[in-house]
Amino acid sequence: AQSVTQLGSHVSVSEGALVLLRCNYSSSVPPYLFWYVQYPNQGLQLLLKYTSAATLVKGINGFEAEFKKSETSFHLTKPSAHMSDAAEYFCAVSPYEKLTFGTGTRLTIIP
């Protein structure tokens, strides 16, 4: 069985500051890992995915994530937050197509 745990249901950062959203996974097989973003009243949009190639994955909108097997982590970062980054972020894990999502982290950007 696969699962993900997102630490921190709410994160606030100042505009221009580092964004760090935490995700730890549990998987009995080598996982595929994903970060999705959800803006208000919209569906989920893929930010980036890890599929056992490079451990540092770059995604859209300046986000990146690093797969660390020893820590079972896949944390999402962005060097400089922008107001448009305010949204809900979901980490997800799957062995193939069926995704298991975390509970989400709401990111607030402080002007």
The correct pick among 1, 29, 43, 56 for binding other proteins (CB under 8 A) is 43
Instruction: Tell me: does residue 32 bind other proteins (CB under 8 A).
Output: yes
The correct pick among 29, 30, 41, 111 for binding other proteins (CB under 8 A) is 41
Per-position DSSP letters for 8-52, written without gaps between them: -SEEEEETTSPEEEEEEEE-SSPPEEEEEEE-TTS-EEEEEEE-S
Pick from 73, 86, 72: nearest CA to 22 = 73
3-class SS of residue 84: helix
Q: How far apart are CA 93 and CA 77, in angstroms?
A: 18
Beta carbons within 10 angstroms of residue 78's beta carbon: 21
Site string for other proteins, 61-90 (x = CB under 8 A): -----------------------------x
Minimal distance in Å, beta carbon 49 to other proteins? 6
Minimal distance in Å, beta carbon 54 to other proteins? 13
Residues that bind other proteins (CB under 8 A): 9, 32, 34, 36, 41-46, 49, 51, 90, 94, 96-104
